[in-house]
């Protein structure tokens, strides 16, 4: 992954960083393919040809965004996995780490979902598969250990569950489109955690405070 980018990457000249950010916002909204370089240039107030002083192609902007995202996700996950032996704690850390990273990398997520078939066909983006495979392994490992320790239901299909959880995590990030939807990052992480740990069914015997999502009700009591 750690793709060390082209010659002109050496000077992360603020201008360049701004362009990546601008492009990212557009990619997040409409996807990579559906965003034209002209739209990016328009957003930056320059002509489309001028973009090529900063990047050698539209693809390399995508590359930068995707590799930056995956680097950060993996770093967060590795730390979470190394920090404790308790699967539940680790998974909770996965979720919180993801929620934070995703909020800053909405573009990468949209690209992964919308344009996967596009990137997958290109050798340049082989690292996408490498990285997603490592991520899957980290999750599945925790789920299996949770099953063995009796924490998780023994009938859980670890890979199926991982896929479900990963995508569940991604969901709220996509909602950012309609910016003012009323939920912030923490609320969403809580709701997701509560959902995946305990489901939506009420349960009187649930030990109070064990679930981090208990905060949900307090944080925004007026909602419901």
List interacting residues with DNA (CB under 7 A): 11, 13, 15-16, 35-39, 45-54, 56-59
Given a second copy, DNA, none, residue 62, with its beta carbon under 5 to 8 Å by kind, binds: none
| HSE-CB for 108 with a 13 A CA cutoff | 21
Rounded CA gap, 220 and 145, in Å? 34
Evaluate whether 220 touches 182 at the Cβ level (below 8 Å): no
Q: Is 46 in the site for a second copy (CB under 8 A)?
A: no
Packed helices 14-30 and 37-44: angle between N→C axes, nearest 10 degrees:
130
Cβ proximity to a second copy: between 17 and 195 the closer is: 195
Q: Is 161 in the site for a second copy (CB under 8 A)?
A: yes
Evaluate whether 125 touches 119 at the Cβ level (below 8 Å): yes
Contact region for a second copy (CB under 8 A) — 3-11, 17-25, 95-103, 198-206? 198-206
- Nearest distance from residue 75's CB to a second copy, in Å? 25
Cβ proximity to a second copy: between 88 and 105 the closer is: 88
- Nearest distance from residue 174's CB to a second copy, in Å? 8
- Nearest distance from residue 50's CB to DNA, in Å? 3
Among 5, 39, 103, 118, binds a second copy (CB under 8 A): 118
DSSP 7: G
Specify the residue for token string 């009938």.
155
| HSE-CB for 212 with a 13 A CA cutoff | 17
């Amino acid at each position: 992954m750690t793709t060390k980018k082209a010659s002109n990457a050496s000077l992360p000249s603020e201008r360049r960083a701004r362009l990546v950010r601008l492009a990212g916002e557009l990619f997040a909204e409409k996807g990579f393919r559906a965003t034209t370089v002209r739209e990016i240039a328009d957003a930056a107030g320059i002509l489309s040809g001028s973009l090529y002083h900063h990047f050698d192609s539209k693809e390399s902007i995508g590359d930068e965004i995707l590799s930056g995202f995956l680097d950060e996700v993996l770093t967060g996950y590795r730390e979470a996995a190394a920090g404790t032996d308790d699967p539940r704690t680790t998974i909770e850390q996965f979720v919180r780490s993801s929620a934070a990273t995703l909020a800053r990398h909405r573009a990468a997520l949209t690209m992964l979902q919308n344009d996967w078939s596009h990137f997958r066909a290109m050798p340049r983006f082989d690292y996408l598969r490498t990285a997603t495979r490592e991520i899957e392994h980290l999750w599945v490992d925790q789920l299996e250990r949770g099953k063995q320790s009796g924490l998780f239901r023994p009938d859980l299909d670890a890979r199926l569950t991982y896929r479900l959880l990963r995508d569940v995590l991604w969901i709220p990030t996509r909602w950012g489109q309609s910016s003012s939807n009323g939920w912030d990052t923490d609320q969403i992480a809580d709701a997701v955690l509560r959902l995946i740990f305990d489901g939506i069914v009420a349960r009187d015997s649930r030990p109070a405070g064990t679930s981090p999502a208990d905060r949900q009700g307090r944080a925004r009591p007026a909602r419901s």
